[in-house]
Amino acid sequence: MRKEYDFSKAKRGAAVPLPKGKTRITIRLDDDILEWFKEKVEKAGGGNYQTLINAALLEHIRRADEPLEKTLRRVLREELRKAS
């Protein structure tokens, strides 16, 4: 490897475009939360922890807007499934 390189004629490469409907942001998460998502991905055999975080946020939003009756029915179904 050389000690010095000449970048005077260098050109920046093309930036990877973001998929439609996605926005790049910076977010600060607690270490234990990030570690939990990374462990989930590792146990699943791979994937992307950011995709998992996105899915968790989307599910939270959907459930937050869910009417109370629908929430009760869903919880009862889940509990009955566990009991059988």
CB atoms within 10 A of CB 53: 19
Q: What is the mean pLDDT of the chain?
A: 92
Residue 49, both tokens: 């922890």
Q: Render pLDDT for 42-57 as a digit per residue (tens, 0 to 9).
A: 999 999 999 999 999 9
Phi, psi values for residue 71, rounded to 5°: -60, -45
Q: Render pLDDT for 4-37 as a digit per residue (tens, 0 to 9).
A: 998 899 888 877 888 899 898 999 999 999 999 9
Does the pTM surpass 0.85? The reply is no
**41, 49 Cβ separation under 8 angstroms:** yes
DSSP at 16: P
Where in the chain are the domains?
31-83
Residue-level pLDDT at 30: 97
Q: What distance in Å separates the CA atoms of residue 49 and residue 37, rounded to the nearest whole number?
A: 6
